[in-house]
Structure 1
Amino acid sequence: MKIKNNIFLVIFLINSLFINKVFAEEKAILNFEGDNWCPYTCEEKSEVGKGIFLEITELIFKNQNYTIHFEMMPWARVLKRGERGEIDGIIGAYKEGRNKFIFPNEPILQSTNSFLVRNDSSWNFKDFNSLKSIHLGLILGYIYGGNLENIRKNAQKISESGGENAIQKNLARLNGKEIDATLDEHNVLVYYINKMELNKSMKFVGDLGNKSGLYLGFPKEKPNSQKLADIFDKGFIKLKKSSEYKKILNKYGITGKN
């Protein structure tokens, strides 16, 4: 009788382990990181929501039984952790110059980088040569659609902000006349100048280059990165055909024209 009971116990334990393994696979957690870049990735206390990119990412992977765990970090740190394969993905990246990541075929959105100055400034961006007369505020780790090298070659002076809330730091420095201009993604700047009530004291004075895609990036160091990129591609194609996609964009005031 004891032998039978022991056999049943072993079978029960094996089945339990198998069920737990399957359940764990079905509820796999993906660790993503990004910086404070609203309306794309927003702070938890944001009045608008989690952000366009995070909502889309969660929706797509949820349909494939993945749970997204998102941490907000300074962008330079996000990149280093991603390159080393310490996380499953980064959110809101330009793929130019990012050869340590695998990207889906299609960007989440097309992005424009815009220059912002105070209202009392007479400076306008015409070409890279026009940067020779200004002190420009940038963000550590950003590549500005692959244009960072040309910016560095031409700007009279560059100061880079890092850490959390780097965009707000640059806007505060611009408002305080510590820098002459700052450069960032257009929709992000619109969000933060409104949030900081600087919209009446600042103006846009030109865009940098052509539009560039913003992507999820999956570290080449991780063996499942291509699989995750493929999952996102298939899910995103399906999502864009649904009303849910437009609903998310409209929530944040974005048209979503690619």
Structure 2
Amino acid sequence: MRLSSALAVLLLSLPSFATAERLQVRLATLEWPPYVGASLTGQGYAAQVIRTACERRGVDVTFDLMPWARALMLGLRGDVAGVMPEYRNAQREAEFAFSAPFPGGPVGLYKRHGDAIAYAVDPGRDLDAALRSVARHRIGIVRDYINNTTFDRADYLDREEAANDSVNLRKLAHGRVDLVFVDRWVAEYLLQNDPLLRDAKIEMLQPPIEEPALHVAWSRQSEAAAAARPLCDEGFAELQREGTIDRLRERHGLAPKN
């Protein structure tokens, strides 16, 4: 039956309630404040950056917090769309498809105040030589973390694994290791918020090793990840242009205090 012209005009003038279906993705992550945390504002800086970037392009992201080893396993299998936040390196690139970068924080080695430990060479000029100059010291690392390519390949280092950064920093404070590899903002957050670390006298060995970018490591086994990745990358670029990421860094305490 043909609609009358008046009725057709009326129908065309009514608002449409049909909207494009948004893509839903699930990312696995860990408690790593101030970057990610269940009790943090927006679930942390990294979670807020990723969520905001992806939402700009019609991708809704939820975060499942769990041990990092389990997050990696689920991402490799495609049971989640990816894992975050991650540093880029050859090992992970063989396993995951990486997002566009967004800023992280300085990483390096922490020591106890007063300990006579120093690099013989600026790590920015020759990281291998700098690491060799501290190789006699025991260094705490977190199990299954990517740290820095040169550091991770340095088989001459005496490394000792722990479950997380809190445990490592406590071991450092109590003299069970001599150095700890950790992100500056993670260390500062824990020193302020972990009751067992509030009296710890530790500091980063200067200068930092590097300031690596953070990424979403998208699963290569997930169709949702393949669809979401280019959309979210567009969102990251937009946030960078607007200065939104810089504002989020400041809001979450990840910007240096002048």
TM-score bucket of the superposed structures, by smaller chain: 0.7 to 0.9
Is the Cα contact below 8 Å between 1:60 and 1:236 reproduced in 2?
A: yes
- Which stretch has the larger CA shift, 239-248 or 187-196? 239-248
Alpha carbons of structure 1 residues 226 and 147: separation in structure 2 relative to 1, 3 Å: farther
Judging by fraction of residues, say which structure has more strand. 1
The equivalent of 2:45 in structure 1 is 52
**Which of 131, 153, 166 is the equivalent residue of 1:128?**
131
Which letter maps to 1:51? G
The equivalent of 1:154 in structure 2 is 156
Offset, 1:75: 1.8
Offset, 1:94: 1.1
Matched positions, count: 226
- Aligned-partner Cα distance in 2 for 1:78–1:249: 25
Which letter maps to 1:32? L
Is the Cα contact below 8 Å between 2:54 and 2:61 reproduced in 1?
A: yes
2:75 matches 1:113: no
Offset, 1:182: 0.6
Offset, 1:77: 2.0
- Aligned-partner Cα distance in 1 for 2:150–2:186: 18
- Aligned-partner Cα distance in 2 for 1:218–1:203: 34
Offset, 1:78: 1.5
- Aligned-partner Cα distance in 1 for 2:42–2:222: 30
Deviations 1:183-203 (A, max 9, x none): 111221122122235476111
Which letter maps to 1:78? A
**Which of 144, 148, 170 is the equivalent residue of 1:145?**
148
Q: Which aligned segments of 4 or more residues in structure 1 are displaced greater than 6 angstroms?
A: none
- Aligned-partner Cα distance in 2 for 1:83–1:213: 21
Q: The residue matched to 1:192 in structure 2 has which SS?
A: helix
Counterpart mapping for 1:1-258 below 5 A: 26-42=21-37, 44-46=38-40, 48-96=41-89, 97-98=91-92, 99-104=94-99, 106-126=100-120, 127-151=130-154, 153-155=155-157, 157-162=158-163, 166-196=164-194, 197-198=197-198, 201-207=201-207, 209-242=209-242, 244-255=244-255
Offset, 1:103: 1.1
Q: The residue matched to 2:108 in structure 1 has which SS?
A: strand
Gapped regions of structure 2 (runs ≥ 5): 1-17, 121-129
Q: The residue matched to 2:71 in structure 1 has which SS?
A: helix
Alpha carbons of structure 1 residues 251 and 132: separation in structure 2 relative to 1, 3 Å: same
What is the RMSD of the two structures over their aligned residues, measured on CA atoms?
2.4
Q: The residue matched to 1:249 in structure 2 has which SS?
A: helix
Alpha carbons of structure 1 residues 213 and 200: separation in structure 2 relative to 1, 3 Å: same
Offset, 1:85: 1.3
Offset, 1:91: 1.0
Offset, 1:208: 5.8
Gapped regions of structure 1 (runs ≥ 5): 1-21
- Which stretch has the larger CA shift, 131-140 or 195-204? 195-204
Question: Under a length normalisation based on structure 1, what TM-score does the superposition of the two structures give?
Answer: 0.78
Q: The residue matched to 2:64 in structure 1 has which SS?
A: strand
Is the Cα contact below 8 Å between 2:33 and 2:186 reproduced in 1?
A: yes
Which letter maps to 2:150? N
Is the Cα contact below 8 Å between 1:115 and 1:125 reproduced in 2?
A: no
Offset, 1:207: 4.7
